Homo-oligomer: A and B are copies of this chain.
Amino acid sequence: MAVQLSRTFELFERAMRVVPGGIYGHQTPALLVPGSYPYFFARGDGSHVWDVDGNEYIDYLCSYGPIVVGHCHPAVEEAVLRQMRDGNCFNAPTPLWIELAEHLVELTPFADWAVFAKNGSDVCTWAVEVARAATGRRKVVKAAGAYHGTHAWCSPLPAGITDEDRANVLEVPWNDLSALTALVTSESSAIAAIILTPFRHDAFHDSELPVDGYLAGVRRLCDQHGIVFILDDVRAGFRLHLGGSGEYFGVRPDLACYCKAIANGYALSACVGREAFRNAAQDVFFTGSYFTSGVPMAAALACLRTLAAEDGIARMDALGRRLCEGLDRAARAHDLRVTTSGPPALPFMSFADDPGQSLNRVFCAAMAERGIYLHPHHNWFMSAAHTEADIDRTVDRAEQAFKIVAAER
Interface residues in chain A, defined as those with a beta carbon under 8 Å from any beta carbon in chain B:
11, 14-15, 17-21, 23-27, 38-45, 49, 52, 59, 61-67, 71-72, 77, 80-81, 84-95, 97-98, 101-102, 105, 112-115, 117-122, 125-126, 128-133, 138, 150-153, 155-157, 159-162, 164-165, 167-168, 234, 259-260, 265-267, 269, 278-293, 295-296, 373
Task: Count this chain's copies in the assembly.
Answer: 2
A-B contact pairs, 28 of them (CB 8 A): A19-B113, A19-B115, A23-B92, A24-B115, A26-B287, A40-B94, A41-B93, A42-B94, A43-B87, A44-B86, A44-B90, A49-B90, A64-B289, A66-B89, A66-B289, A80-B84, A87-B265, A119-B288, A132-B161, A150-B286, A151-B151, A151-B152, A155-B285, A156-B285, A164-B164, A164-B165, A259-B289, A265-B293
Judge whether B151 and A90 touch: CB under 8 Å: no
Judge whether B93 and A288 touch: CB under 8 Å: no
Chain B residues lying within 8 Å of A64, measured Cβ to Cβ, are 91, 289
CA distance A62 to B132 in the complex (A): 34
Shortest Cβ distance from residue A183 to the other chain B in the assembled complex, whole angstroms = 19
Judge whether A98 and B157 touch: CB under 8 Å: no
19 A-B pairs besides A20-B279, A42-B94, A164-B165 with CB distance below 8 A are A15-B97, A18-B101, A18-B113, A19-B98, A19-B113, A21-B281, A23-B92, A40-B93, A43-B85, A129-B152, A132-B161, A133-B159, A152-B153, A157-B285, A159-B284, A265-B290, A266-B295, A267-B267, A267-B290
Judge whether B90 and A63 touch: CB under 8 Å: yes
Chain B residues lying within 8 Å of A156, measured Cβ to Cβ, are 285
The 10 closest A-B pairs by CB, nearest first: A25-B287, A129-B160, A89-B265, A44-B87, A43-B86, A159-B283, A41-B90, A20-B281, A18-B101, A160-B284
Shortest Cβ distance from residue A137 to the other chain B in the assembled complex, whole angstroms = 10
CA distance A81 to B85 in the complex (A): 11
Chain B residues lying within 8 Å of A61, measured Cβ to Cβ, are 91
Judge whether B92 and A38 touch: CB under 8 Å: yes
CA distance A266 to B132 in the complex (A): 32
CA distance A164 to B133 in the complex (A): 15
Residue of B whose beta carbon sits closest to that of A42: B86
CA distance A289 to B293 in the complex (A): 17
Residue of B whose beta carbon sits closest to that of A111: B18
User: Which of B66, B89, B112, B132 meets A162, CB within 8 Å?
Assistant: B132
Judge whether B119 and A289 touch: CB under 8 Å: yes
Judge whether B19 and A97 touch: CB under 8 Å: yes
Shortest Cβ distance from residue A135 to the other chain B in the assembled complex, whole angstroms = 10
Chain B residues lying within 8 Å of A291, measured Cβ to Cβ, are 25
Judge whether A52 and B119 touch: CB under 8 Å: no
CA distance A44 to B89 in the complex (A): 9
Chain B residues lying within 8 Å of A27, measured Cβ to Cβ, are 91-93, 287, 292
Residue of B whose beta carbon sits closest to that of A85: B72
Judge whether A267 and B118 touch: CB under 8 Å: yes
CA distance A165 to B284 in the complex (A): 14
